[in-house]
Structure 1
Amino acid sequence: MKAFLGTGLLGANFVKAMLRKGVQVQVWNRTLSKAKALEVEGAKVFENIVDAVTGVDVIHLTLKDDDTVNKVLEAASSGFSSGVTIVDHTTTSRQGAVERTKHWKARGFTYLHAPVFMGPPNALESSGNMLVSGDQQVISRLEPALSEMTGKLINFGPEEGKAAGIKLIGNSFLISMTAGLSDALALAKAQDIDPAAIAALFAEWNPGAGAPARLDKLREGDFSKPSWELDMARKDAGLMMSAADEKGVRLIVIPAVASQMDSWIAKGHGSDDWSVIAKDNL
């Protein structure tokens, strides 16, 4: 028997997938109507959170943040069965995951942070990626069940909280990518180019395919053999900003990057590879 706390878009589809595999699931959500919607799927819904976790072996969570997770678990704790396992899929801070692992272990319970790169459709289809790290015996015990929830379970080793940190790193890239796409659309608007042309470009040329090689170059830390000189990249950034300014279009990413470029050019790195702007973070 499992419990699921937090039945928003992601949590609800995790529950549906479990139910369709024949797993009995008790659910709770702060907004009761969201949990009630799962009754037609076969979930057992509880208004009282203590009742929702009573008698279960594993408790899954998909909530908002560290504070919400802490409050929800504390509120539910009087209903925990001896030795219950808590699997938290919430995106939280690394320190929060470390502290909760220690806190609940001291109280006789197992807590595993298992954040995901999965949208609601992935949760329903059991596809996507789930991240774990920490006690390898715990992970080994839970791996069969967690693997059924996702397309790929990625184990980052014994370090507590590492999975939480990796999730934030991945999300930072997703945020940056979306902001970059926003700038691409802004430049298209400024130059009277149909956004469909951007889609056509990316259908033929996938800039994301170069990310692993770019990351390797950054990790190597040698910027003396440029494939794109910083001076030239800064010239192009200037063209972008001028095109946007002429039409009163706002760019999100490029002005901030251009400022970093100017700083490194002033330090004498204009003929280095433009990725030298990341040097201080290596």
Structure 2
Amino acid sequence: MAEASKANPQGVEKVGYLGLGLMGAPMTRRLLAAGYQVAVWNRSLGKAAPLVEAGARRAETPRDLLAASDIVFMCVTDATAVEEVIFGPDGISTAPGAGKIVVDFSSIHPDAARDLATRLKAANGAHWIDAPVSGGTKGAEEGTLAIMAGGDAADIERVRPYVLAMARRFTHMGPIGAGQTTKLCNQVIVGCAMAVLAEATRLAVNSGIDANRLPEALAGGFADSIPLQLFVPRMAQGIYAPPLGHIATMLKDLDTIADVAQATSTPVPMAALAGQLFRLARTVRGADADALEIYKLSAADD
């Protein structure tokens, strides 16, 4: 914590959050509730306004956000969006970064994470942690997220208290890129689970039994899981708002899995099939539809 103490003599660092979407907004609220000083930035000002009212300070640009913060957290759509806020005009890379850490909660390709980290360190000296999250909007609101991280061990420990204001679990998986690879493993399981649970729910409905009772009936057995308990009732009852995650986001991750699997000679037949189902869901339901609308693919009247 030597660098942290130098940046803030009280030992409590100033933090920033960039990207105030489905995940970023509730995660920022948890930082504010924990009593931290938080600066925020979002491309559309409307998403920042409620957080400013809750006590955050609005930064004018990503550059301003890093200048005002010791640690910057970030959650944006994809690697293109990360590139823009880091290296675009008035991006994070244009502010002095020595002794500061950027923690990227976005889900991007492991190679992209390593490339961005190297370039940012060369540009302004800031350190990088790739720390994708799992747990959806519910986990973000309740502070029960699982976060898997890649980066330097000292950096991980420095940001840990702040991350644990937003998450239940924060696991250091290895060097930069390891967090993203771990998230891909997570998405193999989640993407396939959504597809399989959609089949089970449809089988129940088409067979005339109450699909809403599947979580109760299967609780404690080998089929029980958080996805079973959370996803099946939403599918059975047609609850898709607010979305737990978008079809486009899941498909992006499944496509990245396919790319990494090819590079590492890893067979992923189940994840590949899930990717094709979500590609079809995107065509039928739209990119911004809830990922659980994959359930609708199996019924002609949906």
Task: Answer whether TM exceeds 0.5 for this pair.
Answer: yes
1:118 alignment partner, one of 135, 144, 155: 135
The 3 A distance-change label for structure 1 pair 101 and 27 is same
Deviations 1:48-103 (CA, angstroms, capped at 9, x unpaired): 33333323211110100111101111132223443321010111111111112222
Provide the rounded CA distance (Å) in 1 between the counterparts of 2:107 and 2:207. Answer: 38
Q: C-alpha root-mean-square deviation of aligned residues, in Å?
A: 2.3
Provide the rounded CA distance (Å) in 2 between the counterparts of 1:147 and 1:204. Answer: 28
Quote the offset at 1:163 in angstroms. 1.3
Aligned to 2:188: 172
Quote the offset at 1:2 in angstroms. 1.6
Provide the rounded CA distance (Å) in 2 between the counterparts of 1:161 and 1:66. Answer: 13
Q: Would you say 1:68 and 2:85 are equivalent positions?
A: no
The 3 A distance-change label for structure 1 pair 195 and 162 is same
On the 8 A contact 1:56/1:81 being kept in 2, the answer is: no
Aligned to 2:153: 136
AA in 2 matched with 1:164: Q
2:144 alignment partner, one of 117, 124, 127: 127
AA in 2 matched with 1:64: T
AA in 2 matched with 1:168: L
On the 8 A contact 2:39/2:68 being kept in 1, the answer is: no
Quote the offset at 1:140 in angstroms. 2.9
On the 8 A contact 1:87/1:113 being kept in 2, the answer is: yes
Aligned to 2:103: 87
**Structure 2 matches for 1:191-230, cutoff 5 A?**
191-203=207-219, 205-208=221-224
Aligned to 2:30: 17
Deviations 1:131-174 (CA, angstroms, capped at 9, x unpaired): 112322322333333333321111213x3311101101101211
Deviations 1:232-258 (CA, angstroms, capped at 9, x unpaired): xxxxxxxxxxxxxxxxx9659xxxxxx
Aligned to 1:55: 68
Question: Number of residue pairs matched?
Answer: 212
SS at 1:207's partner residue?
Answer: coil
Provide the rounded CA distance (Å) in 1 between the counterparts of 2:161 and 2:65. Answer: 24
Aligned to 2:278: none
Aligned to 1:40: 53
Provide the rounded CA distance (Å) in 1 between the counterparts of 2:64 and 2:83. Answer: 18
Unaligned runs of 5+ in 1: 210-248, 253-282
The 3 A distance-change label for structure 1 pair 144 and 197 is closer
Percentage of pairs with the same residue: 27
The 3 A distance-change label for structure 1 pair 55 and 250 is closer
AA in 2 matched with 1:156: M
AA in 2 matched with 1:192: G
Unaligned runs of 5+ in 2: 1-13, 226-295
The 3 A distance-change label for structure 1 pair 200 and 58 is closer
Deviations 1:209-264 (CA, angstroms, capped at 9, x unpaired): 7xxxxxxxxxxxxxxxxxxxxxxxxxxxxxxxxxxxxxxx9659xxxxxxxxxxxx
On the 8 A contact 1:28/1:47 being kept in 2, the answer is: yes
On the 8 A contact 1:55/1:81 being kept in 2, the answer is: no
Higher-Rg structure is 1
The 3 A distance-change label for structure 1 pair 126 and 185 is closer
SS at 1:4's partner residue?
Answer: strand
On the 8 A contact 2:215/2:224 being kept in 1, the answer is: no
